[in-house]
Amino acid sequence: MTRPSWRRRRRDEELSEELQGHLRMAIRDRIAGGESPEEAADSARRDFGNVDLVAEVTRDMWGWRWLDQFARDVRHTLRTMRRSPGYTAIVPTTIIGVVGDVRQSDLVTEIRPMAYWPHPQLPYSAMTLAVRTSGERLAMVPLVEHEIRVLDPEQQ
């Protein structure tokens, strides 16, 4: 089960079709509201945010984690207090590096290439931390929370 199945590919395509549809409708409404096509496309894109990121966080819901209370708890812990909504930021101008195979979202999702950029250029409202443990999972939560706070005291 290392190759993405056709089913998975199809789902990916449908998700991107779904998100593009959202953008299209937003642009159309803005044009109907009196904006020029260029303005409408710009503002709708700005409002929507980064399509790839939205797809990424949406795809996260397809795996096993939607069920996993522990993962959700950790995710809530990592939700930052947003000073400004990050999704509306523009495409990053500096790429720190590209890594060929990363386990980005959890331990079971297929590895894939990933680009990294300075966080302030494209702040992200939530991050996921996957932890594998053999003991009582909920007992890990305070430990993980503690470690996060050591790294970033501003975390909730």
Please identify which residue in 12, 16, 26, 109 interacts with another protein, judged by CB under 8 A: 26
Beta-bridge partners for 98: 115
18 binds another protein (CB under 8 A): yes
Residues of this chain, 88-127, that bind another protein according to CB under 8 A: 88, 125
- Interface with another protein (CB under 8 A), residue total 32
Please identify which residue in 37, 85, 118, 142 interacts with another protein, judged by CB under 8 A: 85
Rounded Cα distance between 66 and 59, Å, is 10
CA 87 to chain centre: 9
Phi/psi for 154 (5° steps) reads: -80, -5
Please identify which residue in 4, 8, 9, 25 interacts with another protein, judged by CB under 8 A: 25
For residue 138, with 0-12 CB atoms within 10 Å meaning exposed, 13-18 middle and 19 or more buried, which class applies? exposed
Q: What per-residue string of b and e applies to 143-155 under the rule 16 or more CB within 10 Å gives b? A: ebbeebeeeeeee
Closest to another protein by CB, 84 or 134: 84
**Segment interacting with another protein (CB under 8 A) among 24-32, 91-99, 102-110, 146-154:** 24-32
Please identify which residue in 4, 10, 14, 133 interacts with another protein, judged by CB under 8 A: 14
Give helix 37-48 / helix 6-32 axis angle, nearest 10°: 130
28 binds another protein (CB under 8 A): yes
Residues that bind another protein (CB under 8 A): 14-15, 17-19, 21-22, 24-26, 28-29, 48-49, 53-55, 57-58, 60-62, 66-67, 76, 82-85, 87-88, 125
